[in-house]
Amino acid sequence: MQTIENFLRDVERRNPHAPHLLQAVEEVARGVWPLLHANPQWLDAGIMERLVEPDRSISFRVRWRDDAGQVHVDRGYRVQQNRLLGPYKGGLRFADHVDEGVMRFLAFEQTFKGALTGLPLGGAKGGATFDPRGRSAEEVRRFCYAFMTELRHHIGPDKDVPAGDIGVGEREVGFLYGAYRELGGLAAGAMTGKAVAWGGIPLRTEATGYGLIYMVCTALAHHDRALEGLRCAVSGAGNVARHAAAKALEMGARVVSLSNSQGVAHWPDGLRAEQLEQVADAQSNGARLSDVASKVGASFEASAKPWDLPDIDVALPCATQNELGANDAKALLASGRLQLVAEGANMPCTSDATQAFVDAGVLLLPGKAANAGGVATSGLEMSQNAQRKPWTRDTVDEELKACMRRIHDRCVEFGGESSTVDYAAGANRAAFHRLATTMEALG
């Protein structure tokens, strides 16, 4: 019988230059191996091996011209991981850290996330080595056009439906979708994250952050606790972080930080909703968090992280992968107050940090469950586009809440043997169970 050690060795041998993928696969494998032992036919059928290997991984040259007339060559990617449950689905990331290994890990995670939503969604991820920060709008538009010139051959409403991610917000989705249409693809359902005026669904922008907090509230309530009054450290200052902070404030929490790759903005007594709006406005006009911090009542500490702040009850890492390491976990645990960590970003906690939280009995909501509100709402946007009938904000919000509760309950069903639910194992097992039973049923 295949052992987990042999399986992981084999994954490492086949993917020697993809450390993020190995980290993500090991985390899933350790969660699902007991399920495989209880169902040895899934081991014999090589279900895990089939889930790790993408259906296909596409990389392509993106050639574009900057405002000074200089030609640049970037690399674009689309990893179509698995379409067992529905069309490939997953965001596009524009950042200079993008490479095939990062795309592979995100596409693998996305397959499990899609499965957890209960919706008909497969898994994919894509992006490019292009960083839109500091580029003019016209440069970004030219890049998006060049990127879509190739990507359009691989996507479509029943085939593969990209959305945004780091570096790809509503503006970039607009340019990409505009290029897709101009190049001949008229289907509105070929991308999600569109603005409401041109085929998007209300609340898609907010959905990942709001969904994160719905899941936090549900998990706390399941353990007879509440978010109200708790001190939350949020990392990031982008889409996920800002909307998570806004919803946490609405739920009565005290949000004490936002951050970016330069440092941390700290509000010792808690950020107010209007200050958060000012941050968002300033950022949309091109300012950085450090430029605006003092104007919105925060101190800004360069090169610092939110995890060193005192007396944190809830940590919400919403920036990027592996942003919270073992030393950060130690700092968060030092006050003895930490109750819950919920991953707004994809795999923001390193394996060591995750283990430290589990050992300390802290509730840990893994990204594939806690940030699934974004892809779930993208699934609703696909339904809306297929129906050609707009949905209301209230309907979407109710669906989002129901989806996050369903995901929570599936995690409890598969990871709730002890009084403190093991959400990480529960999420991996629940998603794997759906994928494995489907693969089995489809022969």
* Footprint (CB under 6 A) of ligand NDP, residues 167-186: 167
For residue 63, what are its two tokens?
């050639």
What does the alpha-carbon distance between residue 435 and residue 441 come to, in Å, rounded to a whole number? Answer: 10
For ligand NDP, which residue has the nearest CB?
Answer: 238
Asked if 320 touches ligand NDP (CB under 6 A), the answer is: yes
> Which CB atom, from 218 or from 257, has the smaller least distance to ligand NDP?
257
247 catalytically annotated: no
Which alpha helices (H) appear in 319-372, and where do they start and end? 326-333, 351-359, 367-370
The bridge status of strand 123-128 relative to strand 71-82 is antiparallel
Q: Enumerate residues 6+ apart whose C-beta is below 8 A from 78.
A: 57, 58, 103, 124, 125, 126, 151, 154, 155, 160, 162
> Which CB atom, from 374 or from 426, has the smaller least distance to ligand NDP?
374
Interface region with ligand NDP, contact rule CB under 6 A, candidates 61-69, 235-243, 384-392, 408-416: 235-243
* Footprint (CB under 6 A) of ligand NDP, residues 80-139: none
* Footprint (CB under 6 A) of ligand NDP, residues 184-213: 208
Asked if 31 touches ligand NDP (CB under 6 A), the answer is: no
Asked if 241 contacts 319 with a C-beta cutoff of 8 angstroms, the reply is: yes
What does the alpha-carbon distance between residue 240 and residue 212 come to, in Å, rounded to a whole number? Answer: 9
Asked if 74 touches ligand NDP (CB under 6 A), the answer is: no
* Footprint (CB under 6 A) of ligand NDP, residues 331-360: 344-346
What does the alpha-carbon distance between residue 168 and residue 275 come to, in Å, rounded to a whole number? Answer: 24
Nearest-approach distance from CB 437 to ligand NDP, in angstroms: 25
Asked if 166 touches ligand NDP (CB under 6 A), the answer is: yes
Asked if 238 touches ligand NDP (CB under 6 A), the answer is: yes
CA-based Rg of the chain, rounded to a whole angstrom? Answer: 21
Nearest-approach distance from CB 345 to ligand NDP, in angstroms: 3
User: Cβ–Cβ contacts within 10 Å for residue 145, how many?
Assistant: 18
Interface region with ligand NDP, contact rule CB under 6 A, candidates 23-31, 239-247, 269-277, 333-341: 239-247
The bridge status of strand 340-342 relative to strand 363-365 is parallel
Asked if 414 contacts 32 with a C-beta cutoff of 8 angstroms, the reply is: no
Asked if 239 touches ligand NDP (CB under 6 A), the answer is: yes
Asked if 412 touches ligand NDP (CB under 6 A), the answer is: no
> Which CB atom, from 381 or from 422, has the smaller least distance to ligand NDP?
381
What does the alpha-carbon distance between residue 426 and residue 37 come to, in Å, rounded to a whole number? Answer: 16
For residue 340, what are its two tokens?
């819950």
Asked if 423 contacts 392 with a C-beta cutoff of 8 angstroms, the reply is: no
> Which CB atom, from 27 or from 165, has the smaller least distance to ligand NDP?
165
* Footprint (CB under 6 A) of ligand NDP, residues 258-317: 259-262
> Which CB atom, from 203 or from 314, has the smaller least distance to ligand NDP?
203
Asked if 374 touches ligand NDP (CB under 6 A), the answer is: yes
| Packing angle, helices 19-38 and 100-117, rounded to 10 | 40
Asked if 388 contacts 189 with a C-beta cutoff of 8 angstroms, the reply is: no
Nearest-approach distance from CB 198 to ligand NDP, in angstroms: 18
> Which CB atom, from 48 or from 371, has the smaller least distance to ligand NDP?
371
Interface region with ligand NDP, contact rule CB under 6 A, candidates 152-160, 164-172, 213-221, 418-426: 164-172
| Packing angle, helices 204-222 and 239-250, rounded to 10 | 50
Q: Return the amino acid letter for 180.
A: Y
Q: Enumerate residues 6+ apart whose C-beta is below 8 A from 310.
A: 335
Q: Which of 48, 103, 237, 332 binds ligand NDP (CB under 6 A)?
A: 237
* Footprint (CB under 6 A) of ligand NDP, residues 52-71: none
Nearest-approach distance from CB 283 to ligand NDP, in angstroms: 8
Q: Which residues are catalytic?
A: 125
- Binding-site ranges for ligand NDP (CB under 6 A): 164-167, 208, 235-241, 259-262, 318-320, 323, 344-346, 371, 374
